[in-house]
Every structure is written in structure tokens, then in C-alpha cells.
Amino acid sequence: MTESKKDVIKFKMLKAIDLSGFTVFDPVLRLAFGEDPKKQFGSIVKYIFIPIVFVLTCLWLWSWIAPHHKTKSGEVPTPRDVLNSVSVNDTIADREAIKSQDFLLSGEKRQARLSEVKAQHAALKAEVDRLQAIVQTREKEKADREAAIIAPLSERYEALRSEYREAGKERDRLIAELSEDLAAGRIQKMELTAAIREDGEISDVEREELNALKSEIDEVRSQKYRPLEIARKEYDSMADKLFFLGTRLEFLEDRNLNVRLDEARSRLDGYMADLAAAESAKDALRLAKRAVRAEESVDRLEGQEYASAVTIYHQTKRSIFTVFIGFFMAAFVAIPVGIMCGLNKIFMACMTPIISVFKPVSPVVWLLIFQIVVGAFFPDPETHPLFVTLGSIPFISSLDVNPALIFSACTVAMCAVWPALVNTALGVASIDPDHVNVARVLRLGFWNRLFKIVIPSALPLVFAGLRISLGVGWMVLIAAEALSSSDGLGKFVWDEYQNGSSLTFANIIMVCFVVGIIGFFLDRMMIILQRLVSFDGKGASV
């Protein structure tokens, strides 16, 4: 049987799908190669189409239920709101990037950019004014429409109110008469109380009638007028853009780094010239002091960077970086210690109490402990050699490594170390006795035995442990960041919760998805690694 080139490609792709654990896409690929379409369609319907329908149903249920639950942070966001918050966050990130560029521009480039943005700003300003006019017209329209509906209602309301007021006065008068009759002994007490009771009932009915009418009027007022809503939305989005262009103008003019530097320098030059021309000692002292201050401010400006607002992308990058630091710290400890535990029963007996006691400790407790312990190592983080070095490495400098990141990573490591350790120990201890016999017959030395037999046979379990560790670490990290205000996705959620803007709730749910999706990919990565090192060619469970 000859294998065609196509078959080879197909086989390789199927193998890649199997390796990565996305076996649900297997029938799609087979279908693409035209293999038994009927069977493949069956599989696609069963394992892809039906699950998609299920997920869509869940989304639909969510979007249906969400608006019915009012919370103090506003309505529960629908899937659409969450999607919207993705694009809002994306825009924020884009704008921060543009602003930081503008901030650093100098010379002709700055001038060119400035005139460009000015033109845009002017054009947009006209547009915004136009939209504002539209909004005003629509508001007026709405008011007119409401007035048309409300006028008869409020007329009736006024009429009824005065009518009822009159009726009420009349009843009061009658009651006063009755009370005089009672005092004169012309009627019974019962008659007076009956009259008062009747008056109360009638005024209740009247009040209710008036209230009903009033709420009808309010209802009309609160009704949304779609054209106005649309106009407002358009206006808001344009006004937002205009505001952004305004900020850009600031960053290209007054707040631009180079503009400010030039100003400061020319001021300094001025003082210097004045100083040179100073005649009296008093003037010289005053001008020298000024010049020194101006010098200082030039120095300060030279080192200045754009203080970017934190974006979701920055927080995500930082979280992933932190989790890997913690994960590698955990692996660095867990693998050697685990191997020793598996090899030596006495060592295992020594480690067992430590593992048993510290494994169940909550990450929150570790976080607090590390916050204190790590903090003590870096009394002055700004000048500490570790952070200075890390700050000079290109990619890492953008992540702002600080003590908060270190203790978050330590917390991750502390919680992630146990699954890897226990699994490694188990893998080493459960080595096939036949393989041990082979090693004994060949009289392999300790290192040969370790690297040729013990570690390879334990690797699948070691990686199973590391996979659990990374999953645990990722979960722990988000909580640690939220609690310790260390920059990352956890802090993003916490800040949103504290800020309470209209987007808050949607942003929190968006982060929930971001964390989940990243966690999923981290797990997939570990599965692939685990499969690659598994000697039996079989993979871990998915």
C-alpha cells in the first residue's frame, strides 16, 4: 500500500490534534479530507453542533435573566454588555498607547502631528456640535410630545384636585355642624363618629384617584423616546472621541515632555544669563538659587516617562509573568525534593508532617506572611539592585517588577509546590520493580540510575503534578493580586469593584472570562508537554 502525500499530511494533522487534546475537531479534519462524510457529519453534530447549541442556550438564558435582577451596582450585565466592555477596554489600551507616543514626540514630527490632530479636533468639534443640536431638538420633541399627552391629564388632575378640595371642605363643615348638634344633644354620638369615618374613607379614595393620575403622568415622562436615545448615544460616543483628541492636544502641546523640557531649559538659560549679569551679591544669591532649582527641574523632566493608565493587556501580561515566576519557583523546589522523597523513605518520613500541615493552609495566610517577610528584604525597592537590574531588561522593565510581584509569586509558589511535590514523590516511588531489577543486574551507579531509569519513569507523573500546580497557581494568583493590590488581573477586578463606574460589573465578568480562557490555555500547554514526555505514547486525561 502506498501512502499518498495527502495521507501523510492528514496523519500528521490528526496526530497534532490528538497531541493538543482538541480531539473534538478530529471529524472536521477528516471531513476536510473527504473521509466517510456521513460518519463525520454524525460526529460533528453530536460533539460540536449540540454543544454549541447548548452554550448558546446558556448565553440566551443569561441575557434573558440578567436585566431582571437589579443590584446596587446597577443591572446585571448581559453578554452584550460584557462584549462591549471588551471593546471599551481595547479602546482604552489603544488610546494609552497613542497618548504615550504623543507625550514623547518632539520637533517637526510633533508639529506635524499637532496640526493633524488639531484639524481632526476641529472637524470633530463641528460634528459634535451638530449632534448636540440634534440632541437638543430631540429633547424638545420629546418634551412637546409629552406635553401633548400630559396636558389633558394634568388638566384633569388639577380639576379633580380642586373639586376634591372643595368636597373635603364641605364635609368638614358638615362634621362641625354635627358636633354642635351633638353638644346640643340633638343627635347621638354614633352619628358623629359615623360621619367622621365616612369622611376618612372618602378622602382615601379621592387621594388614591389623584395618585393614580399622577403616576400616569410620571409614567409618560419616564417613557424613553427612541430618537432621543439614539441621538444621545451618537453624541456621547463622538463627545468621548472629541475629549480624547483634546487630551491628545494637551499631550502634544503643554504636557508634552519635550515642550516642557525646552521651556525648563530656556528658563534655566535665562537665569544663567541673569546670574552672569548680576551686580549685587544679594541678587547673585537669589538668582543662583533659582538657577539651581531650574536645573533640578530639568533633571527631573529628563527622567520622566508617560504615566500610563493601567490597561487590561498590561494587567494580563503581568499576571501571566507572575504566575510563571511562581510556578518555576515551585517546580525548582518540588522536583528535587519530590525525587528525594520518592527515593528515600526516611526523607519521606521527615517531609510528611511538613507536607501534611502546610498543604491545606489558605493562600491568603501565605500572602500575608510573604508580604511581611519579602517586604523586609527590600526596605528601599526603588534602589534595590534586583529591581534595578530587572528594570533594565527590555520586556521585563515594562512589567514594573516590584516587591508586590515577588510576594505574589512566592504565594503562588507556596501553594503550587505541593501537587508537584507529591506527584513527583509518587512517580519516583512507584517505579516498575522490573526496571529496578534491570538497574540492579547492570549495577548502575546512583546518577545513572537516577537519570536513565528513575526520572524518565517518573516524568509522566511529574508533569501531571506540574499541570495541577500551574492550575492551582493561576487561581491563587488572581486572589492574591486582588488582596495585595499587586498589579495584575486580580487587581483589575478589585479596582473595578472599588471604582463603581457604569462599566464595573461588565468589566468584572469580562475578567472572569479572561482568567478562565488563559487558565484553559495554560492547562492545554501542560497537557501537550505531558504528552511529549510520556514514554508510553498515551496522554493524560483531558
Which residues are near another protein by CB under 8 A?
A: 434-435, 437-438, 440-444, 448, 452-453, 456-457, 459, 535-537
CA angle 299, 302, 305 (to 5 degrees): 130
- For the bound state, the minimum distance from the C-beta of residue 443 to another protein, rounded and expressed in Å, comes to 6
Cβ proximity to another protein, 104 vs 455, nearer residue: 455
- For the bound state, the minimum distance from the C-beta of residue 441 to another protein, rounded and expressed in Å, comes to 5
- For the bound state, the minimum distance from the C-beta of residue 426 to another protein, rounded and expressed in Å, comes to 18
Spell out a b/e string for 331-341, using b for 16 or more CB atoms within 10 Å of the CB, else e.
bebbbebbbbb
Residues 376 and 194: their CA atoms lie apart, in Å, by 83
Cβ proximity to another protein, 197 vs 440, nearer residue: 440
- For the bound state, the minimum distance from the C-beta of residue 407 to another protein, rounded and expressed in Å, comes to 39
Sign of CA dihedral 216, 222, 224, 228: positive
Dihedral, CA of residue 248, residue 253, residue 257 and residue 258, to nearest 10: 130
- 261 close to 298: Cβ distance less than 8 angstroms: yes
Residue 254 three-state SS: coil
Phi, psi of 80 (to 5 degrees): -65, -40
Count CB atoms within 10 A of the CB of residue 138.
19
Cβ proximity to another protein, 214 vs 435, nearer residue: 435
Cβ proximity to another protein, 18 vs 170, nearer residue: 18
DSSP state of 56: H
- 322 close to 477: Cβ distance less than 8 angstroms: yes
- For the bound state, the minimum distance from the C-beta of residue 6 to another protein, rounded and expressed in Å, comes to 24
Cβ proximity to another protein, 132 vs 457, nearer residue: 457
Q: Tell me the sheet residues that pair with 70.
A: 75
Cβ proximity to another protein, 220 vs 455, nearer residue: 455
- For the bound state, the minimum distance from the C-beta of residue 447 to another protein, rounded and expressed in Å, comes to 12
- For the bound state, the minimum distance from the C-beta of residue 532 to another protein, rounded and expressed in Å, comes to 12
Cβ proximity to another protein, 69 vs 443, nearer residue: 443
CA 89 to chain CA mean position, Å: 9
Cβ proximity to another protein, 21 vs 456, nearer residue: 456
Cβ proximity to another protein, 305 vs 434, nearer residue: 434
Cβ proximity to another protein, 173 vs 440, nearer residue: 440
- 410 close to 374: Cβ distance less than 8 angstroms: yes
- For the bound state, the minimum distance from the C-beta of residue 432 to another protein, rounded and expressed in Å, comes to 8
Residues 259 and 193: their CA atoms lie apart, in Å, by 87
Residues 526 and 330: their CA atoms lie apart, in Å, by 15
Cβ proximity to another protein, 395 vs 535, nearer residue: 535
Q: What is the DSSP string of 263-277?
A: HHHHHHHHHHHHHHH
Q: In terms of Cα–Cα distance, which of 20, 2, 6 is closest to 529?
A: 20
Distances 21 to 29, 32, 68, 331, 539 between C-alpha atoms, Å: 14, 19, 39, 24, 9
- For the bound state, the minimum distance from the C-beta of residue 536 to another protein, rounded and expressed in Å, comes to 6
Cβ proximity to another protein, 113 vs 435, nearer residue: 435
Contacts of 380 (CB under 8 A, 6+ apart): none
Count CB atoms within 10 A of the CB of residue 424.
29
- For the bound state, the minimum distance from the C-beta of residue 94 to another protein, rounded and expressed in Å, comes to 49
| Cell 523513605 sits on residue | 345
- For the bound state, the minimum distance from the C-beta of residue 451 to another protein, rounded and expressed in Å, comes to 11
Q: Tell me the sheet residues that pair with 75.
A: 70
Dihedral, CA of residue 342, residue 347, residue 353 and residue 355, to nearest 10: -40
- For the bound state, the minimum distance from the C-beta of residue 328 to another protein, rounded and expressed in Å, comes to 24
Residues 28 and 26: their CA atoms lie apart, in Å, by 5
- 342 close to 429: Cβ distance less than 8 angstroms: yes
